[in-house]
Structure formats: structure tokens, C-alpha cells
Amino acid sequence: MPIISAELVRSGGMPSAAELEASLLAGQTLLSNTAEHLIEVVDVLDSYGQVLDAYSKNLIFQAEQQFLLPFPLFKYLDGDKSVAKIWRHLNHDRINFEYAEYCMKAMLWHGTGGLDAYLDSDPFAANCRAIIGRKTRRDPLLALLHPVFRGFLIELIRTAATTSALGQFWRVMSDLFLDLAAAEAAGRISSIEAVVEFIKDGLVAAAGKPITYAVEIEGERMWVLPPEAGLTFLADVAVPYVEAVFLRGLPFLGTVSFNAQAQQISPDQGQFAYGALYADPLPSMGAGVPPSLLMQDMFRHLPERLHQLYRQRGRGEGDVRVKICMSFQKSMFCVTNAAIRGTFPSPLSTQDPAEQAANRAYAAAWASRLAVARTDCLD
């Protein structure tokens, strides 16, 4: 989703930061409540939930079964090395797990929240030393590499830990989105407000879910993210994921200049605005542009109801992946809306002045970031 001139791509009005803050404090939804929006959000999340199911399984497989392999040639096969699976993979009849890795690398590089703090801690360093000591006993290549490049294996372990954590996060989100689609089909969800509330309740219910990760080396189970680290779903993985993928993101090769003199990319990672909420819905389908890969994966699992809706709009099948991208962005505003609603410092109904002030500050901080996002899609 390349970032280009806003004047060329804006499709409607954009609420001000003050208007967004008022909406959040009033408990209103960011996305307007229409019948088409409901179909778009529920069905695109249904498709996304199926894709995340595959992403989650593969990331967890990589973290557990491809741990510290210098050349993980079969990491996308989920352990199935049959000729048929390899043939489908080579012919690109498969899920694009490269996008899942892109999100993992964004989390690892931006490094925010409790997970990153633990990856910089002394207990994690001690775990790495124990794992590397045991792993290099019978692996001559790693035993040769480690003394020469002292940080190489540690960085691989950090990457594996982030891979596992993201896989566990997406496991929860996949189930949540598929449950949402089932609830809508059963008639229990009939508005955007109900969608946001359903997602919020799911996030709150999973908030304290522990995030742990261990690997087996020579028959011994060794902790990378142990229970005593106290890492949990919402604070330590979900919030950093929103920061890294929804907000900051990564600029894509071929869409902006990486030349320092051109200054198209800020040297401050905190100022990055390439995430899902900011991006223009223009998947180029060029090789290696990550959101194009995600749109293709979602197209493979697109519910017929939403597909039919797309056929009735504009160019029909001609720009279906752009349409998926636009619906996906709307759904991510709903997920963000739910996350904000579920993490207010105090209930919105509070009458305590101090708590009201804290809520206003929290809403204002979010509103200032969302005011420059692609909020023109919300009407």
C-alpha cells in the first residue's frame, strides 16, 4: 500500500482531531453504520480470519520446528514436504507467508512494548546463552559462526521469539474474526456498533492470556519466553502490533526513496506513517509489496456475498484487490476502535473529574494520530 500524494487519493471528508476525540469519548464508532459497511467489515474479517489461521500455524511452526536453522528452505511448508505440496508452492498456489514475516519484522524493528523490553533484559540474555551453548555442541556450522559473529544467533533467537509471539496473537485474532462472522450469520450482529463491541469483548477476554515460548534442543525443553517473564496478550503483543503494523509500518522498496538526501523517509521511526490506517488502498501487485500479498490471500478466501458486492461496483472484477484493500482498511479502523474502547483508563460513564481528565487525554492522544490517517473511508 504505497503512500502517495494525499490530494490525489482522498475520497471524502476527514474529521478533525477534536471531532474524533469527541466520538471516542461518546462511545461512538469511527466507521459509519450502514448495511454495506456491515457486509464489508464482517466478510473481509471472515476472509482475514481464515488467512490468519494459516499465518498463525506457520509462524508457530517456524518458531518451534525451524529454530536456529541457518537455511530454513522448507519453512513455508508447515512440515509437509510432499511432492504435491512443493509443486503447489513453486506454482504459487499457496498462502503468502511472506506477508506474515513482514509484520513480524515490523514488530521486531520498531521494538515497542513489553515484549521488546524483555528481549533486551538480562534474563533473556541468560536464556540465549544457555540455548546457544547447548545448540552449538552438535551443530558445527553454528559453533563456527557464533564466535565470529557474537550477535548473530542472539538476533535469530529474538526473531524466533517475535515470530512465536505474533503467531500466538494471530491465533486469538483468527478465532475472534471467525466467531464474529458466525455471530453475524446467526443474526446476533446487525450493526457496526455491535461489531466494535464484539471485538472489544474478545480483546478484553484475551487480555491476560500468557505469551510463552519454549524450544526443544537435544530432548531438553528450554525457555525463550518463560512464564515468569509475565508477558501477556494485550499489553505485550497486541499493543506493540497495533503500533508497528496499524500505525508505523515500513516504507516499501520501489514506492518511496530510501536516499537520505531525498528525505522521503523520516529518520525517526516514531514518525513513520506507513501502517494500515494511513496507507492508500493501492496494492500494486508488484513483486514483494507485502499488502499485495495479503490482498491476494484474502481474495482466495473471499465470501461470495462480499464478492458479489464488489462485482456491482465500478470496474467489477478489474480492481477487486483494491476493493478488498479498502474494505480491509475500514475493518482495521473497527479493530482499532475496539482496542481504544477496551483500553480507556476509566469507564466512559465515570463522573470522577480526575478519571474524566485521564480519559480525555487518552482520547486526545489517539485522535491526534488518527486525524491524519485515511479517515475519509469512514463515511
Phi (first) and psi of residue 250, to 5 degrees: -135, 140
Question: 143: which residues sit within 8 A by CB, 6+ positions away?
Answer: 136, 137
C-alpha distances in Å from residue 339, one per residue of 17, 130, 196, 234: 18, 37, 9, 9
d(CA 125, CA 64): 19
* b/e code 42-76 from CB counts within 10 Å (16+ = b): bbbbbbbbbbbbbbbbbbbbbbbebbbeeeeebbb
Question: 79: which residues sit within 8 A by CB, 6+ positions away?
Answer: 61, 65
Residue 11 banded pLDDT, cuts 50, 70, 90: low
Q: Give the closest residue to 128 by CA, choosing from 106, 104, 161.
A: 161
Residue 282 pLDDT? 65
Phi (first) and psi of residue 84, to 5 degrees: -65, -40
CA 153 distance to own-chain centroid:
25
d(CA 111, CA 115): 8
Report yes or no on whether pTM surpasses 0.85: yes
Phi (first) and psi of residue 151, to 5 degrees: -95, -5
Residue 1 pLDDT? 41
Residue 359 pLDDT? 97
Structure confidence by residue, pLDDT tens digits, 38-75:
999 999 999 999 999 999 999 999 999 999 998 899 99
Measure the N-to-C terminal CA separation of the chain; round to a whole number of Å: 21
The secondary structure of residue 236, as a DSSP letter, is I
Average pLDDT over residues 259-273: 87
d(CA 217, CA 296): 37
Structure confidence by residue, pLDDT tens digits, 115-161:
999 999 999 999 999 999 999 998 999 999 899 998 999 999 999 99
Residue 240 pLDDT? 94
Q: Give the closest residue to 159 by CA, choosing from 169, 150, 167.
A: 167
Average pLDDT over residues 93-121: 94
Residue 314 pLDDT? 75
The C-alpha cell that represents 247 in the structure block: 500505525
d(CA 252, CA 244): 14
d(CA 79, CA 62): 9
The H-or-E segment that residue 205 falls in is helix 192-206
Out of 147-151, 163-167, 254-258, the most confident range is: 163-167
Residue 284 pLDDT? 59
Residue 3 banded pLDDT, cuts 50, 70, 90: very low
Residue 159 pLDDT? 97
Structure confidence by residue, pLDDT tens digits, 199-232:
999 999 999 999 999 999 988 999 999 999 999 9
How many residues does this entry show for the chain? 379
Question: Domain spans of the chain?
Answer: 6-377
The C-alpha cell that represents 243 in the structure block: 503500533
Residue 6 pLDDT? 38
Residue 74's identity, in one-letter code, is: F
Look over the chain and give the mean of its residue pLDDT values, rounded to a whole number.
91
Mean pLDDT is lowest, of 115-129, 283-297, 339-353, for 283-297
Average pLDDT over residues 357-375: 95
Residue 332 pLDDT? 96
